[in-house]
Amino acid sequence: MAIKIVELFGYEPADRSAIATEHRKSLRCPFLRETCAKTLSDGTISGACTVRQTRPDPVICCPIRLYAHDYRILSDISTVAFGGGTRLISGQRVSEVEHDGKYVAVFGKRWGKELRLPNRGGRGYFVDWILARIDGAGQLAEFVAVEVQAIDTTGNYRAERESYLRGQSHERYSKGGINWENVNKRILPQIIYKGHVLRLERLCAKGLFFVCPTPVYQRIRERLGGNLREYQPHPGSLTFRWYDIDPEAREGEIRELVYVGTYTTTVDQVALAFTAPSNLPPAGVYEAAIKAELSGTE
């Protein structure tokens, strides 16, 4: 396994412009406009926004990278869920404005309190974002939930990172990888659980939205197979929205975050495909592998 950093503190690692150099020097995230919040295993600030393996396209490895353009992904979802003309406002500022039915209260990190989905054991999960439309009387009219996921990396890219921070090039790939197994172990089980909880909510009329990089969505569809039926957003629906970064990097500029596509299905469809996948390998593959190993052939 090998990976290479594509974006570091928001910019191309080889970018020698004053603004890119300053962000690397101060360890500053341009999307948060403060110190990078992504850390390595020992607590060192990472700075890596996007990486690539030797062949596939770049994949965003920090969810904060998806908040480019002042959290545009949330505005996009608000328009899809509640119609055009909506205005986002922190959930803590709802009482400060005169309501006309177009304000959408945002609950999530740096906007307002994160809201936990409880379970019977009392622990539950946090939902990354709740977008709640407020009616003309200042009361809750409807809401949707939003999950934002990038992908974790494995291994170590410290030497590459330190070379870039010293202003040096680093041609070699790092001894790291991308933890695609997280799609099966963590991402899909959590969105299925949260989707089932949200479908019980009377005012969650458009279901759960899931935002991720394009390669993550591709892995999810590969895991679930090609038999998911498409629906319009409704209670119990799950809407995937996926994004890429612009392939072209310009000196002194951050690459654009590019909306690629959307697909709406249901939580039930995803749960069934996850537990009874349709894209299994042919029967006998384990037997063949064992026999090949025992015979010393490949």
Question: pLDDT tens digit string along 71-122?
Answer: 999 999 999 999 999 999 999 999 999 999 999 999 998 887 777 766 666 5
Residues 136 and 242 in one domain: yes
Q: Is the pLDDT reported for residue 171 higher than 80?
A: no
Residues 256 and 280 in one domain: yes
Return the pLDDT at 172: 79
Task: Give the model confidence (pLDDT) of 29-47 as tens digits.
Answer: 999 999 999 988 888 899 9
Residues 42 and 105 in one domain: no
Residues 156 and 269 in one domain: no
Return the pLDDT at 94: 92
Reading the block at residue 6, the tokens are 């594509």
Residues 141 and 266 in one domain: yes
Q: How far apart are CA 130 and CA 143, in angstroms?
A: 7
Sign, CA torsion 34/39/44/45: negative
Residues 32 and 94 in one domain: no
Range of the domain at 121: 67-149+180-298
Residues 290 and 231 in one domain: yes
With CA atoms as reference, report the closest residue to 129 among 74, 79, 76, 85: 74
CA distances from 105 to 79, 86, 131, 286 (A): 13, 10, 6, 52
Q: How many domains does the chain have?
A: 2
- Model's pTM, two decimal places? 0.90
Q: How far apart are CA 10 and CA 36, in angstroms?
A: 10
Return the pLDDT at 168: 86
With CA atoms as reference, report the closest residue to 133 among 174, 98, 91, 185: 91
Residues 58 and 96 in one domain: no
Residues 46 and 193 in one domain: no
Residues 131 and 43 in one domain: no
Q: How confident is the model at residue 183 (pLDDT cuts 50, 70, 90)?
A: confident
Reading the block at residue 40, the tokens are 């390595």
Residues 74 and 105 in one domain: yes
Per-residue burial over 252-268, b = 16 or more CB atoms within 10 Å of its CB, e = otherwise: ebbbebeeeebbbbbbb
Q: Point out the domain boundary residue: 130, 161, 179.
A: 179
Q: Is the pLDDT reported for residue 254 higher than 90?
A: yes
Q: Do 243 and 73 meet the contact criterion of CB atoms below 8 Å apart?
A: yes
Task: Give the model confidence (pLDDT) of 10-28 as tens digits.
Answer: 999 999 999 999 999 999 9
Q: Do 177 and 2 meet the contact criterion of CB atoms below 8 Å apart?
A: yes
Amino acid 296 reads G
Q: Point out the domain boundary residue: 164, 179, 194.
A: 179
Residues 171 and 293 in one domain: no
